[in-house]
């Protein structure tokens, strides 16, 4: 049986995570979990915000399911999430974007995946003031960083039986950095003749995604464009409450919803468990437990489509745990 690390997280994280573990258990997932505190919760217990034991646990188990974390001010971290991704070299940020019947959105046939590079680009954190009146930030793109993310996108496309990979860049202006990314993408694409390849300049890509998103399949891009485009894509299918994500490296992977800890709703058993449940579905697929993944996703999409036992943001009155219970009932009846 596979052991995973579970970080319940802060704010609404614990209620979302416990609802998810109930669904995983009811769905028959072949999993055991090791529960670990981090973030505000660890801090309030007198521990470090990112205890070494958390990183050790993820290294040992290789897979984690994580609720959102709040980074307490004054703890020396800009973001615990970024620190965790750096510590484990989780270079892929994977964000599937799919329309579900019952969730209000502009389109009803979107099914695309954003693959964002997670470690380089303007997020390398090399920035400084130049005197008092100017500031400089350095954009870092490497051949190795570009190659591994583009290769991941093609491998993912192949495994998931997807047809096309689109590389997104601004190589017409940033000829060195984005130029290198694009050159590498073109070279890697030649190794995957079964998958169509194209590239788009990022501004045009934004427009295309708003106007005809169903033309796209797997999108791969450097960090900053990925940050912006993945939220644009989440908006196309109903917002952050329903957007799952994963951060994946060679040694470990962390599955987590895209949204934050929504502290104003903490302890109210009110927020939508869809994003974390879909993150758990992604995790099960990653672990090869596809049958359970499909079962949970099917039940969840049926609960959403019926619209009777859904949370406030989907127009219903159900609590987090009632919506999870509805998913469990649906799985048992299917």
For 171, other C-beta atoms within 10 Å of its C-beta total: 19
Among 121, 256, 297, 302, binds ligand NAD (CB under 6 A): 256
Q: Give the phi and the psi of residue 162 in degrees, each rounded to 5.
A: -95, 160
Binding-site string for ligand NAD from residue 24 to residue 63, where x marks contact by CB under 6 A and - marks none: ----------------------------------------
State the nearest-atom distance from the C-beta of 268 to ligand NAD, in Å: 11
40-50: b (≥16 Cβ within 10 Å) or e: bbbbeeeeebb
Among 36, 69, 167, 185, binds ligand NAD (CB under 6 A): 69
Residue 203 bears catalytic tag? yes
The stretch among 168-176, 208-216, 252-260, 299-307 that binds ligand NAD (CB under 6 A) is: 252-260
The stretch among 68-76, 108-116, 133-141, 146-154 that binds ligand NAD (CB under 6 A) is: 68-76
Q: How many residues bind ligand NAD (CB under 6 A)?
A: 18
Q: Measured from the CB atom, is 235 or 260 closer to ligand NAD?
A: 260
For 138, other C-beta atoms within 10 Å of its C-beta total: 12
- 3-state secondary structure at position 168: strand
Residue 170 bears catalytic tag? yes
Residue 30 bears catalytic tag? no
3-state helix, strand, coil in the chain (%, to 5): 45, 20, 35
Task: Check: CB of residue 312 under 8 Å from CB of residue 270.
Answer: yes
Among 180, 275, 278, 300, binds ligand NAD (CB under 6 A): 275
State the nearest-atom distance from the C-beta of 39 to ligand NAD, in Å: 8
Q: Give the phi and the psi of residue 66 in degrees, each rounded to 5.
A: -130, 135
Task: Tell me 140's DSSP state.
Answer: B
Among 85, 148, 169, 259, binds ligand NAD (CB under 6 A): 259
Nearest to 13 by CA among 276, 200, 224, 201: 276
* Residue showing tokens 């109930």: 22
Kindly state whether residue 179 participates in binding ligand NAD, applying the rule CB under 6 A.
no
Residue 227 bears catalytic tag? yes
Q: Which residues are catalytic?
A: 123, 170, 203, 227
């Amino acid at each position: 049986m596979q052991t995973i690390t579970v970080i319940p997280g802060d704010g609404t994280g614990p209620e979302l995570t416990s609802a998810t573990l109930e669904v995983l258990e009811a769905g028959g997932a072949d999993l055991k979990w090791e529960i670990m505190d981090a973030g505000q919760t660890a801090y309030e217990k007198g521990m470090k915000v990112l205890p070494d034991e958390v990183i050790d646990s993820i290294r040992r188990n290789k897979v984690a399911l994580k609720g959102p974390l709040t980074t307490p001010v004054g703890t020396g971290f800009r973001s615990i999430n970024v620190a965790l991704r750096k510590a484990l070299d989780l270079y892929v940020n994977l964000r599937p974007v799919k329309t579900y019947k019952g969730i209000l959105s502009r389109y009803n046939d979107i099914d695309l995946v954003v693959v964002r590079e997670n470690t380089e680009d303007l997020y390398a954190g090399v920035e400084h003031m130049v005197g008092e009146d100017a500031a400089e930030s350095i954009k870092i793109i490497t051949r190795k960083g570009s190659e591994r993310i583009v290769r991941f996108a093609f491998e993912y496309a192949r495994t998931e039986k997807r047809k096309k990979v689109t590389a997104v860049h601004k190589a017409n202006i940033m000829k060195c950095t984005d130029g290198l990314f694009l050159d590498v993408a073109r070279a890697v694409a030649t190794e995957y003749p079964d998958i169509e390849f194209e590239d788009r300049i990022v501004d045009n890509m934004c427009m295309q995604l708003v106007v005809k998103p169903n033309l796209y399949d797997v999108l791969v891009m450097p960090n900053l464009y990925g940050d912006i485009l993945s939220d644009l894509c989440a908006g196309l299918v109903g917002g952050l409450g329903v957007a799952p994500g994963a951060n994946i490296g060679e040694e470990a992977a962390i599955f987590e919803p895209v949204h934050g800890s929504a502290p104003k709703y903490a302890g109210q058993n009110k927020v939508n468990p869809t994003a974390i449940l879909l993150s758990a579905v992604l995790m099960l697929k990653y672990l090869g437990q596809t049958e359970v993944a499909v079962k949970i996703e099917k039940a969840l999409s049926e609960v959403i489509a019926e619209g009777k036992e859904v949370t406030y943001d989907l127009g219903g009155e159900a609590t987090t745990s009632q919506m999870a219970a509805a998913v469990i009932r649906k799985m048992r009846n299917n």
